[in-house]
């Protein structure tokens, strides 16, 4: 690692730790502890949520509402009790007790069974020049998840995770800094789980037992330590609270759940039209076509190449007639082009919207359009201006916006000239009274927010789709996220599962990796396996880089084309189920793609299991991610499981060896599962092709399901304009009973049939009249 050579620190500034508590003060929901110059506050925001703040100087910074959606005062007050003893101050809520040791002002939390968690280690909370940190104990059997966008496997014990957004080009399992910086994680052990959100946008880092075994550390280069402790104990509860704090994603348009096709670049109208035709002729469903940077005129954002895209409006409307939605890329770098009548540059200069250096000079770097300047998205007026620029795109029918290079990715020299990646000088003023050092991690988040809110203004009744590469905690409120420039490597296919699961465990549910790999050339086998796994990605997008081989589903020959068609078809059949998961994410913060530990947190076998995933609660995949492999071991957690393809029944907890030829991705369903499915369509066309039936596939056992549906495209769901059915499956006298409640909510689907299929036993059908139904289906003797 040559970059570290000669960089060992020669001096170590000593840390100053908290001293004795000298005074305790209580206000409505905050207890303050004065310790010399330092001030510590603990605020009780919910029975399972506390906020801890330490200001070494005794003075807190003004509140910054960047990531946190709910201000302290906006939480409903909950009762708590404060007990003071000679040695401690104890704060007790309905769910937890927080004990502060007066001697060193250290914190430990306890659940109601007196199990400690988030317990301060020896160093407690300390500071030194330019940094503040907290140290806490790692309990036996504790494992660590989340941390935003991370390479490697699932459990982050014994790793260091830095929160600083970078263009993580050529990332691999050892890469630390990534495109996203989300300083949140959860620590789980049997019977216990808690989450930590480090509320700092400055550079920060988690060290999970590396510097000191048995201790995790959080450090930020900010002026105070500000973190939230969220008690679970289950991951679902931790995420529910964390997303209450940082916000949840709005429901995306339903079409965004379909298959997306992208390439850098489909670089002319002709190429795009041919691509669209190819999908329809080959009967491979596809909803979205992404236009990468070459649709622009010389990489000038908010322009179109007059040569290659001479009539974008016609192109987009023709595509729309065929069911395709168009998404265009928008990068933050604005071509530096004085006196050239480039409206974006001119307006930005006229209103002083671009980031300046501390000395007042305009900052510039190099990106696609060569010399470029960068909007200061931390400013509300800049976000409005930029958001309004999108009107030129929405007016001609662009359905979604893809934000890229927004870490921001900047070179110090023209591209292709061996430039170094740089960022704005850390002292560059941004937003209101902030410097780049404080808000670097927010650049992508604020850009995505600007796009999202702009689209909402221009198309107030229609949901839009925004995709971003960079972001910070809370990015789920504004945008979906993809994992940047992966490679056409088996290792990257394998890694995509834990990466996306950890994103989901960080509150960001709408995520995906480029199917087939962005950089490099997929082999037919890799591509087939990737499409199978890609079917599980919440965002299902194929993409590939300039000068790589084409990666569309048909370029690898008939066998792979058939596999791609089959798995994309399956994705479309599962859309009602997947859309329901999006609704869960939007209302509870639950991930869509989940590691097994999410549903089996008491089962230590799941703690490091990274290569099996759950799509929602019922469907488990054990994909193949190695060349030439046709068998793999599958772990089935406790309960009865069914093979999706053969119906074979298995009892967990157990390991089985499964056979998976290239056509087959091993898939399992939990007993009692209820999975709504629909016929394959070539695209999601809610208005024009109402579906004539919906199929509820049910597997024997006990299960409950809430089936959400709505128009899939407007914000009416916020006004109760949706349909909810509660479905219950259970066994009675060896028969499977399916109870469907009457429809709640104001939305009624178009006339259709409901088919209830007890998988392996038969089916019944009836018109969907919105009434209650009770069905007896087949004989079934439970084990
Ligand atoms: C970046 C993006 C990639 C895109 C390319 C050109 O590398 O991550 O997805 O295709 O830029 O815009």
Residue whose CA is at the smallest distance from ligand 1 atom 3: 485
Nearest CA residue ID for atom 4, ligand 1:
264
pLDDT of the residue at 728: 98
* pLDDT for the residue 419: 87
Mean pLDDT over each residue of the chain, to the nearest integer: 96
**C-beta of residue 737 within 8 angstroms of C-beta of residue 774:** yes
Which residues have C-beta atoms less than 6 Å from ligand 1? 264, 292-293, 329, 404, 469, 484-485, 518, 543
Nearest in space to 537 (alpha carbons), one of 493, 589, 475, 506:
493
Q: Name the residue of 265, 421, 480, 545 to mutate for ligand 1: max ligand atoms within 8 A of Cβ.
A: 545
The Cα–Cα gap between 364 and 377 comes to 15
**DSSP H helix total and E strand total for the chain:** 13, 50
How far is it, in rounded angstroms, from Cα 459 to Cα 391?
Answer: 9
φ/ψ bin of 152: left (φ > 0), alpha (ψ from -120 to 50), beta (otherwise): left
Buried residues in 207-225 as b, exposed as e (16+ CB within 10 A): bbbeeeeebbbbbbbbbbb
- Ligand 1 atom closest to 485 (CA): 8
- pLDDT digit string, tens, across residues 85-141: 999 999 999 999 999 999 999 999 999 999 999 999 999 999 998 899 999 999 999
Q: d(Cα 440, Cα 590) in Å, to the nearest integer? A: 28
pTM, to two decimals:
0.97
User: What pLDDT is attached to residue 416?
Assistant: 82
- Catalytic, 485? Answer yes
Q: Rounded mean pLDDT of 313-319? A: 98
CA of 410 to the centre of ligand 1 (A): 13
pLDDT of residue 686: 72
Burial 16-38 (b: 16+ CB within 10 A, else e): ebbeebeeeeeeebbbbbebeeb
The residue that leads in pLDDT, 418 or 290, is 290
The rounded Å distance from CA 292 to ligand 1 centre is 7
Q: Look at residue 2 in the predicted model and tell me its pLDDT.
A: 45
- Residue 601 tokens, joined: 């947190």
Q: Which contacts (CB < 8 Å, 24+ apart) does range 6-14 have? A: 13/128, 13/129, 14/128
Q: Would the pLDDT of 6 be above 80?
A: no
Residue 418 falls in the annotated catalytic set: no
Edge-to-edge strand ranges of the sheet holding 762-767: 674-677, 693-698, 753-758, 762-767
- For residue 552, pLDDT over 70 is answered with yes
Residue 778 pLDDT > 90, yes or no?
Answer: no
pLDDT digits (tens, 9 = 90+) for 127-186: 998 899 999 999 999 999 999 999 999 999 999 999 999 999 999 999 999 999 999 999
> Mind listing the pLDDT tens digit for each residue in 570-621?
999 999 999 999 999 999 999 999 999 999 999 999 999 999 999 999 999 9
In the block, residue with structure tokens 């620029």: 389
CA 369 / ligand 1 centre spacing (Å): 14
Give, in degrees to the nearest 5, the angle at Cα 411 between 409 and 416.
Answer: 115
Catalytic residue among 269, 404, 709, 711: 404
Work out the average pLDDT over 673-701: 92
Mutate to test the pocket of ligand 1, among 485, 492, 543, 546 (most ligand atoms within 8 A of CB): 485
- Which has the minimum average pLDDT: 55-59, 493-497, 686-690? 686-690
Q: Which of 407, 411, 566, 710 is catalytic?
A: 407
Nearest protein CA to atom 10 of ligand 1, as residue: 264
pLDDT at residue number 62: 81
What pLDDT shows up at residue 284?
98
As a whole number, mean pLDDT of residues 451-477 equals 97
What percentage of the chain carries pLDDT values higher than 90?
95
If DSSP states are collapsed to H, E and C, what string results for 12-75? CCCCEECCCCCEEEECCCEEEEEECCEEEEEEEEECCEEEEEEECCCCCCCCCCCCCCCCHHHC
Q: Is pLDDT at 4 greater than 60 in this prediction?
A: no
Cβ-Cβ contacts under 8 Å for 111 (sequence gap 6 or more):
95, 96, 117, 192, 231, 233
Q: What's the DSSP call for residue 527?
A: H
Does the active-site annotation cover 170?
Answer: no
What DSSP line would sit under 270-283, residue for residue? Answer: HHHHHHHHHHHHTT
Instruction: State which H helix or E strand residue 318 sits in.
Output: helix 312-321
Local confidence band at 347 (pLDDT 50, 70, 90 cut-offs): very high
Cβ pair 216, 138 in contact under 8 A: yes
State the Cα–Cα distance between residues 398 and 55, nearest whole angstrom.
47
Give yes or no for residue 484 having a pLDDT over 90.
yes
Q: Are strands 116-117 and 106-110 parallel, antiparallel or unpaired?
A: antiparallel
Average pLDDT over residues 178-195: 97
Does residue 411 have a pLDDT over 60? yes
> Taking the alpha carbons of 270, 272, 275, 281 in that order, is the dihedral positive or negative?
negative
Whose tokens are 């930029």? That residue is 386
- The dihedrals phi and psi of 716, each to the nearest 5 degrees, come to -60, -25
Give the span between the Cα atoms of 587 and 249, in whole angstroms.
Answer: 8
Checking if the pLDDT of 783 tops 90, the result is: no
The confidence score (pLDDT) of residue 71 equals: 92
As given in the structure block, the two tokens for residue 775 are 């069905």
Assess whether pLDDT exceeds 80 at residue 37.
Answer: yes
CA 293 to ligand 1: nearest atom: 12
Q: Return the best residue to mutate from 165, 166, 264 for the ligand 1 pocket (most ligand atoms within 8 A of CB).
A: 264
Sign of CA dihedral 349, 352, 355, 361: positive
Strand partners, 137: 215
pLDDT value at position 1? 41
* b/e 530-560 (16+ beta carbons within 10 angstroms → b): bbbbbbbbbbbbbbbbeebeebbbbbbeeeb
* 3 state SS of 515: strand
Judge contact between 622 and 672, C-beta under 8 A.
no
pLDDT reading at 65 higher than 90? no
Give the pLDDT confidence score for residue 5 in this predicted structure. Answer: 56
Interior/surface letters 169-204, b for 16+ CB within 10 angstroms, e for the rest: eebeeeebbbbbbbbbbbbbbeebbbbbbbbbbbbb
Q: What is the mean pLDDT of residues 674-683?
A: 97
Atom of ligand 1 nearest to the CA of 262: 10
Return the pLDDT at 8.
60
Mapping DSSP onto H, E and C, the string for 530-582 reads HHHHHCCCCCEEECCCCCCCCCCCCCCCHHHHHHHHHHHHHHHHCHHHHHHHH
480 forms beta bridges with 467
What CA–CA distance (Å, rounded) separates 597 from 571?
A: 24
């Amino acid at each position: 690692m040559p970059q570290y050579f000669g960089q060992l620190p020669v001096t170590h500034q000593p840390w100053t730790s908290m001293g004795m508590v000298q005074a305790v003060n209580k206000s409505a929901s905050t207890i303050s502890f004065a310790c010399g110059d330092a001030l510590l506050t603990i605020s009780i925001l919910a029975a399972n949520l506390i906020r801890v703040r330490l200001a070494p100087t005794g003075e807190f910074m003004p509140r910054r509402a960047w990531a946190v959606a709910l201000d302290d005062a906006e939480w409903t007050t909950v009762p708590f009790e404060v007990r003071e003893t000679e040695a401690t101050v104890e704060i007790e809520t309905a769910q937890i007790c927080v004990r502060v040791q007066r001697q060193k002002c250290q914190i430990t939390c306890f659940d109601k069974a007196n199990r400690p968690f988030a317990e301060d280690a020896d160093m407690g909370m300390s500071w030194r020049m330019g940094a503040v940190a907290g140290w806490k104990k790692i309990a036996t059997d504790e494992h660590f998840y989340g941390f935003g966008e991370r390479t490697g496997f699932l459990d982050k014990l014994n790793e260091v995770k830095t929160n600083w957004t970078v263009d993580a080009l050529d990332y691999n399992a050892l890469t630390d800094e990534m495109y996203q910086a989300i300083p949140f994680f959860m620590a789980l052990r049997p019977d216990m789980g808690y989450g930590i959100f480090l509320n700092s946008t400055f550079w920060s880092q988690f060290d999970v037992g590396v510097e000191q075994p048995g201790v995790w550390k959080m450090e930020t280069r900010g002026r105070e330590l500000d973190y939230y402790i969220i008690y679970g104990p289950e991951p679902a509860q931790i995420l529910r609270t964390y997303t209450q704090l940082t916000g949840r994603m709005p429901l995306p348009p339903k079409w965004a759940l379909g298959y997306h096709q992208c390439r850098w670049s489909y670089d002319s109208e002709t190429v795009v039209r041919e691509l669209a035709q190819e999908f329809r002729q080959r009967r491979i469903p596809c909803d979205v076509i992404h236009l990468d940077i070459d649709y622009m005129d010389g990489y000038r954002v908010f322009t179109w190449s007059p040569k290659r895209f001479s009539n974008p409006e016609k192109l987009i409307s023709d595509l729309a007639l065929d069911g395709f939605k168009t998404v265009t890329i928008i990068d933050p770098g604005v071509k530096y082009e004085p006196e050239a009548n480039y409206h974006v540059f001119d307006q930005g200069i006229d209103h002083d919207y671009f980031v300046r250096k501390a000395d007042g000079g305009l900052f510039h770097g190099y990106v696609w359009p060569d010399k470029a300047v960068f909007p200061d998205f931390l400013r509300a007026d800049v976000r409005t201006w930029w958001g309004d620029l999108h009107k030129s795109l929405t007016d001609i029918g662009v359905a979604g916006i893809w934000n890229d290079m927004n870490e921001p990715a900047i070179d110090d020299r023209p591209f292709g000239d061996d430039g170094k990646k740089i960022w704005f000088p850390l002292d560059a003023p941004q937003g209101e009274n902030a410097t780049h050092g404080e808000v670097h991690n927010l650049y992508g988040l604020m850009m995505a927010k600007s796009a999202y809110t702009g689209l909402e203004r221009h198309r107030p009744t229609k949901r839009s789709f925004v995709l971003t590469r960079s972001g910070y905690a809370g990015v789920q409120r504004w945008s979906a996220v993809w994992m940047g420039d992966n490679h056409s490597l088996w290792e990257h296919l394998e890694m995509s599962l834990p990466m996306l699961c950890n994103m989901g465990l960080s509150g960001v549910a709408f995520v995906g990796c480029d199917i087939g790999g962005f950089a490099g050339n997929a082999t037919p086998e890799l591509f087939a396996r990737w499409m199978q796994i890609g079917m599980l990605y919440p965002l299902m997008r194929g993409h590939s880089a300039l000068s790589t081989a084409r990666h569309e589903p048909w370029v690898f020959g008939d066998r792979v084309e058939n596999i791609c068609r089959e798995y994309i078809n399956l994705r479309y059949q599962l859309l009602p189920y997947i859309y329901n998961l999006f609704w869960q994410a939007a209302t509870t913060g639950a991930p869509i793609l989940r590691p097994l530990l999410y549903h089996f947190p008491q089962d230590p076998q799941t703690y490091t299991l990274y290569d099996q995933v759950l799509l929602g609660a019922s469907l488990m995949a054990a994909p193949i991610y190695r060349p030439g492999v046709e068998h793999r071991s599958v772990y089935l957690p406790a309960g009865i499981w069914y093979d999706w393809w053969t119906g074979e029944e298995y009892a967990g907890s157990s390991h089985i060896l499964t056979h998976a030829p290239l056509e087959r991705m091993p898939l399992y369903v939990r007993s009692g599962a209820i999975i709504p499915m629909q016929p394959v369509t070539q695209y999601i066309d809610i208005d024009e092709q109402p579906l004539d039936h919906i199929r509820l596939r049910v597997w024997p056992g006990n299960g409950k399901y809430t089936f959400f549906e709505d128009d899939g495209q407007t914000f009416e769901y916020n006004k109760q304009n949706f349909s909810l059915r509660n479905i219950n499956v259970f066994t009675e006298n060896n028969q499977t009973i399916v109870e469907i409640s009457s429809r709640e909510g104001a939305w009624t689907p178009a006339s259709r049939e409901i088919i209830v299929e007890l998988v392996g036993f038969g089916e019944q059908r009836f018109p969907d009249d919105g009434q209650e139904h009770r069905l007896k289906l087949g004989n079934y003797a439970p084990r």
